Structure 1
Amino acid sequence: MLAAALVGGRERLTRLRFFGGSVREFAGLPRDARRKILALDPLGYDVGLSNEAIREAWLKKVLSELPTGASLLDAGAGECAYKKYCGHLRYVSQDLAKYDGTGEVGLQMGSWDTSRIDIVSDITDIPVPDASFDAVLCTEVLEHVSDPVVALKELERVLKPGGTLIITAPFVSTTHFAPYHYATGFNRYFYESHLQYRGFEIVELVENGNFFEFVAMLLRHVDVFAQRYADEDCSKLERLAAQIVLRMLGRMSAKDKGSRELLNFGIFVRAVKRLGP
C-alpha cells in the first residue's frame, strides 16, 4: 500500500509503490495530499505523475498575473476548479452543463456538479456581446468540443482587444467524459496556426512532460485497465518489472533532451488578442 504517515506532527512518506492497486489509492487522495506525497518521494518513482500538479501550478501563476478587477470568462468551467485562483478577478463561468459524470465507455468521473455555472450555453455560441471580457480561460476543454476551431473563433469574439486567452488541453488523451470527447488532443501546430489566424499573438507556449513521462503514466494504468478490459491481474513479478521500468523511465526523463516534440502530456498557451487587424 502507498502510505503517508503522520510522525511527530510532520508528514513523512513511509512507503512508495505507484502501481496496481496503489495507483487507485493515490488517485483517490485529495489533490493537496498527492502533491505532498510527490514532493517527499526520495526514490524517483514520481515519473509520470506530475501532469496535473504542473498544469495547476502554471494556471495559478498565470491567473495571479492578471490585473486586479479584470473580468475573466472561464469557458467550459465544469466544476469551476480554478475559481479559487480568481479572487482578485470578476469571474464568470460558462459551460454546456450536460455532462453528469456518467457514460457508457471510457473514463468517467462518477459525478459532476455544474450547478454553479453562470452562463449555460454551447461554447461556440456564448450569449454575451462582443469584447465582453479582459481574459478568457479555457482549460482541458477543447477535446470535448465537436468543433474546436469554431470555439476559438467564439472565444476571440468575446475577448477584448489586448485581452489574454489562457488555454490548456491534452497532447494525447484516452477516451474520457464520453460521449463528450471529440478529439484525443492537440499539438503546438494547432495553436500556432489557428490562434495566429484568429488574430492572437502567442506569448507563452509550454509543452508539459515528455515521451518518457507519458509512457510512465500509461504504464501506471496497465494493472487497472487489465482488470477492466482483459479480466486479468498483473502478477507480483510483473508489478516488480513495471517498477524497474519506471525507474528506467525516470532516469531517462531526467536526461531528456527534447522528446516532448514527439509526445507530452499537454500544452499550455497564453496568447494576447491583437489591438487591430
Structure 2
Amino acid sequence: MSIVGLQNEVNRNAWIERKLKEIPDGWHILDAGAGERRCKPYCAHLCYTSQDFGQYTGCGDKKGLQTGSWNQENLDIISDIAEIPRPDLFFDAIMCIEVFEHLPAPLLALKEFSRLLRPGGVLLLTAPFCSLTHFAPFHFSAGFNSYWYEKHLPEYGFKILEIEKNGNYFEYLAQEIRRIDWVANKYTNCKANLFEHWIVKSLLKRLEKLSRRDTGSNEILYFGCHVLAIKE
C-alpha cells in the first residue's frame, strides 16, 4: 500500500524522539505550547515541564480542522507563551512543537525562549511550512519556511545547528489529495464516483514515483521545518 503523503507526523515524531534522546540525562526541559503533552514519553530521562495557554478545548470555533476533544488537565504551567513564570536561564532545553502557527506574535515566543534558556542550552522547533486552518480561532499563520528561522533565530541569540525539511513538493500534494474526500464531504454535496476514485489512486501512484526520484523539490514546498539550535 502506498504511503506517499502519510509521513508528515511520522517523520516529525522520529526526529523529535531522536533529538531528545541526544539531550543529557537530568536536563530541565520546557515543552512550550505542550497541548496534550504528546512529547512527554520521549522525555523520561529529563526533568520535564509542560506549558500551554490552556484555552483550546477541541471545538474551537467549529471551523477548519478541529480535534473534537483536548485534555490539558495535567499541564504544569498555564500562561501566555511570551510570559512564562520561571526565572531567567532556568531551562537547559526548550522544545516548541507545531506551535508557532498558533501564535499571533511568534517572535515574542523566541524572545522568551532566549530569556529562559541558559547559554549552551538546546532549542528544538518544528512548525508547518504550509498548513490548512486548524485549531481555529487560534490559527494565525499558514506556516514558516527555513529563511524565517535563519533570519530570526540569530537575532535572539541562537545558533542554528540543523534545519531539516520534512517531505517535498510531491509528498505535500499527496497529503492534500488524500484529504479530497473529507473536504468534499464537509463542504460540498458531491460524492466521488468509481472513476474519480481511480483518478486519485493514479495520482498518488504518480506522486509516489516522483517523490522517490526527487532531487530537491523541497526548495518550493514541504510539510515543515525541524530546527535544532543552541543558545549562545
Same fold (TM over 0.5): yes
Residue 93 (str. 1) matches residue 50 (str. 2): yes
2-side partners of 1:128 and 1:259: how far apart? Answer: 42
Q: How much has 1:168 moved relative to structure 2? A: 0.4
Work out which of the two has the higher radius of gyration on C-alpha atoms and give 1 or 2.
1
2-side partners of 1:53 and 1:96: how far apart? Answer: 26
Instruction: Trace 1:52-63 onto structure 2 (pairs within 5 A).
Output: 52-63=9-20
Q: Which runs of 5+ in 1 are unaligned?
A: 1-40
Percentage identity across paired residues of the two chains: 48
2-side partners of 1:198 and 1:102: how far apart? Answer: 35
Residue 83 (str. 1) matches residue 40 (str. 2): yes
2:5 matched to which residue of 1? 48
Give a deviation string over 1:184-205, Cα, whole Å, max 9, x none. Answer: 1000011000001111110010
- Which contiguous aligned blocks of 4+ residues in structure 1 show a shift greater than 6 angstroms? none
Q: How much has 1:230 moved relative to structure 2? A: 1.2
Q: How much has 1:233 moved relative to structure 2? A: 1.1
2-side partners of 1:197 and 1:236: how far apart? Answer: 54
Counterpart amino acid of 2:214? D
1:180 matched to which residue of 2? 138
1:131 aligned to which of 89, 111, 125: 89
Counterpart amino acid of 1:229? Y
Instruction: Trace 1:1-277 onto structure 2 (pairs within 5 A).
Output: 41=1, 45-103=2-60, 104-274=62-232
2-side partners of 1:215 and 1:176: how far apart? Answer: 18
Q: Which runs of 5+ in 2 are unaligned?
A: none
Give the TM-score taking structure 1 as reference length. Answer: 0.83
1-side partners of 2:88 and 2:146: how far apart? Answer: 27
Q: How many residues align?
A: 231
2-side partners of 1:233 and 1:50: how far apart? Answer: 27
1-side partners of 2:219 and 2:76: how far apart? Answer: 38
Q: How much has 1:257 moved relative to structure 2? A: 0.7
Give the TM-score taking structure 2 as reference length. Answer: 0.98
Q: How much has 1:109 moved relative to structure 2? A: 0.2
2-side partners of 1:95 and 1:177: how far apart? Answer: 14
